[in-house]
């Protein structure tokens, strides 16, 4: 049953992920042609702030909701699962509202002093409005991952992407008809519309899910303070780790265009190269990752439950199969992007630079897809400290290349840094899991 649930959930999430990525892929092409490489660079600079906020407000809470929901199996525990979800939504909602207000008021400072690009300020103010909605439906998704029902998260993912892209396309149609010129800020408006649309779908779904079960189930056995305490004990270190990592990631993103200027680019050229790299080349490289992302999301609660039951054999089987298939996918994509990188860059984005990036980044694929799964397994085993250390290792490696290699070798130096960081994480993760899997249940830490 567990194996079937994982396979079924993976297929559902993968189908939704691939559909969303196909939509998002062509959306990036549309944005790049509509606003140019520099506009894409400005838009991409906003993403580290969004990732940092999500890490603080939702990431750890979503994982906690998923983990503890998975531990409350059986129809008699519906009330306990509801308390877990409501506790996570309340705490995440309060944090997200505070962060939205802070970023809205401090957008000029963040854009000018931290991101070193004042034109990001309007984007930040608009995107801040999406934080509460994004956090609410992320907690609901975490609940459904925990009970291994991936249909609702998959639907929400598709709804969010369709409304985001569809709204921007409608704005563009309006601009064409009425001869109006929109800036890249319209992409942030689409982000807000997509997040609210996804929330408006997930909330009624969760309501009907619980109202259909609660009248026939036993009352909750745990009170809200105890539930909140358990969630925070698990989520706090995980969120702190991710916040710190995303904070350093924001430094990395802000510093990279500055280092490119040290290499000899103008500000506009540096933003254009940054936009091509993040908004075009990495979009292609991450596209096949829909499969590994789906596996990693559903694998964590499965591993956590097997670990709680002392079922080392189930963990070993899941890890070995995931490693095998991730490597197969990774090396297949390496060959694809290396051979056809120049063609894809020119055909899809009309950019030779994108093609050159794709050929270099192709060597990331085996390690990038594998690491997503391995780190999820470590989180499921409760090794959040190990995942934090590994992510820090990768990030510090990249930062070293940003500060010292990029000014000398340009963006190629950063690509080398990414490859080195992924290699280190893959090697260390395999060593940790190998040590764990070779130990008996009596000797496990």
pLDDT tens digits along 219-261: 444 566 777 777 877 777 778 777 887 788 778 887 888 899 9
User: What per-residue confidence (pLDDT) applies to 213?
Assistant: 64
Residue 42 has pLDDT above 50, yes or no: yes
Query: Cα 80 to the chain's mean position, in Å?
Result: 28
How many domains does the chain divide into? 1
Q: Output the pLDDT for position 402.
A: 92
> Taking a C-beta distance cutoff of 8 angstroms, is the pair 138, 50 a contact?
no
Q: Whose structure tokens read 């598709």?
A: 158
Higher pLDDT, 193 or 116: 193
Residue 135's nearest CA partner among 83, 82, 91, 193 is: 91
For the chain, what percent of residues have pLDDT higher than 70? 86
> Distance between CA atoms of 315 and 432, rounded to whole angstroms?
14
Asked if the model's pLDDT at residue 334 lies above 60, the reply is yes
What the block records as the tokens of 292 is 């590994």
pLDDT of residue 300: 67
Which pLDDT value is given to residue 216? 44
Say if residue 445's pLDDT is above 50: no
Residue 235's pLDDT is 78
pLDDT at 8 over 80: no
pLDDT reading at 217 higher than 60: no
What's the pLDDT band for 121 if we cut at 50, 70, 90? very high
Instruction: Please check the confidence at residue 72 and state whether its pLDDT lies above 90.
Output: no
- List own/partner pairs for 266-272 with CB under 8 A and 24 or more apart: 268/38, 270/41, 271/37, 271/38, 271/41, 271/42, 271/45, 271/117, 272/36, 272/37, 272/38, 272/41
Q: Are 40 and 31 spatial neighbours (Cβ–Cβ below 8 Å)?
A: yes
Higher pLDDT pick, 201 / 152: 201
- 46 lies in which domain range? 2-443
* Burial of 267: CB neighbours in 10 Å, binned 0-12, 13-18, 19+: middle
For the residues of 42-76, what is the DSSP string, one character each?
HHHHTHHHHHHHHIIIIIHHHHHHHHHHHTS-SGG
Tell me, what's the pLDDT at 222? Answer: 53
10 Å CB burial of residue 396 (0-12, 13-18, 19+) is middle
What pLDDT score was predicted for residue 337? 92
CB 129 within 8 A of CB 152: no
Q: How confident is the model at residue 444 (pLDDT cuts 50, 70, 90)?
A: very low
Q: Which residues contact 391 (CB under 8 A, 6 or more apart)?
A: 241, 245, 375, 425
The verdict on pTM exceeding 0.75 is no
Contact yes or no for 389/423 (Cβ under 8 A): no
């Amino acid at each position: 049953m567990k194996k079937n649930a994982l396979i079924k959930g993976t297929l559902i999430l993968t189908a939704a992920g691939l559909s969303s990525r196909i939509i998002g892929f062509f959306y990036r092409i549309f944005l790049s042609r509509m606003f140019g490489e520099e506009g894409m660079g400005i838009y991409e600079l906003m993403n580290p702030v969004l990732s940092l906020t999500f890490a603080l407000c939702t990431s750890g809470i979503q994982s906690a909701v998923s983990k503890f929901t998975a531990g409350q199996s059986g129809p008699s525990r519906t009330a306990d699962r509801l308390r877990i979800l409501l506790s996570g939504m309340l705490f995440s909602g309060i944090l997200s509202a505070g962060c939205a207000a802070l970023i809205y008021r401090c957008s000029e400072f963040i854009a000018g002093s931290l991101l070193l690009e004042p034109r990001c300020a309007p984007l930040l103010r608009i995107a801040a409005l999406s934080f509460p909605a994004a956090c609410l439906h992320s907690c609901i998704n975490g609940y459904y991952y925990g009970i291994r029902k991936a249909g609702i998260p998959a639907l929400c993912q598709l709804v969010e992407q369709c409304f985001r892209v569809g709204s921007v396309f409608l704005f563009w149609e309006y601009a064409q008809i009425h001869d109006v010129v929109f800036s890249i800020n319209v992409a942030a408006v689409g982000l807000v519309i997509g997040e609210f649309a996804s929330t408006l779908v997930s909330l009624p779904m969760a309501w009907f899910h619980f109202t259909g079960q609660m009248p026939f189930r036993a009352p909750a056995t745990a009170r809200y303070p105890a539930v909140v305490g358990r969630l925070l004990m698990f989520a706090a270190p995980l969120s702190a780790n991710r916040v710190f990592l995303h904070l350093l990631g924001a430094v990395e993103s802000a510093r990279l265009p500055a280092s490119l200027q040290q290499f000899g680019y103008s500000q506009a050229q540096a933003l254009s190269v940054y936009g091509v790299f993040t908004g075009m080349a990495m979009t292609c490289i991450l596209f096949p990752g829909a499969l590994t992302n789906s596996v990693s999301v559903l694998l964590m609660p499965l591993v956590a439950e097997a670990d709680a039951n002392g079922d080392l054999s189930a963990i070993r089987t899941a890890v070995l199969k995931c490693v095998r298939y991730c490597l197969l996918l990774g090396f297949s994509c390496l060959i694809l992007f290396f051979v056809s990188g120049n063609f894809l860059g020119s055909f899809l984005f009309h950019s030779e630079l994108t093609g050159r990036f794709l050929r270099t980044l192709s060597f990331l694929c085996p390690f990038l897809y594998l690491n997503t799964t391995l780190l999820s397994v470590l989180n499921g085993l409760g090794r959040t400290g190990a995942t934090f250390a590994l992510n820090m290792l990768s990030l510090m490696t990249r930062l070293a290349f940003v500060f010292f290699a990029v000014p000398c070798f340009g963006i190629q130096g950063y690509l080398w840094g990414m490859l080195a960081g992924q290699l280190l994480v893959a090697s260390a993760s395999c060593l940790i899991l190998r040590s764990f899997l070779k130990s008996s249940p009596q000797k496990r830490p």
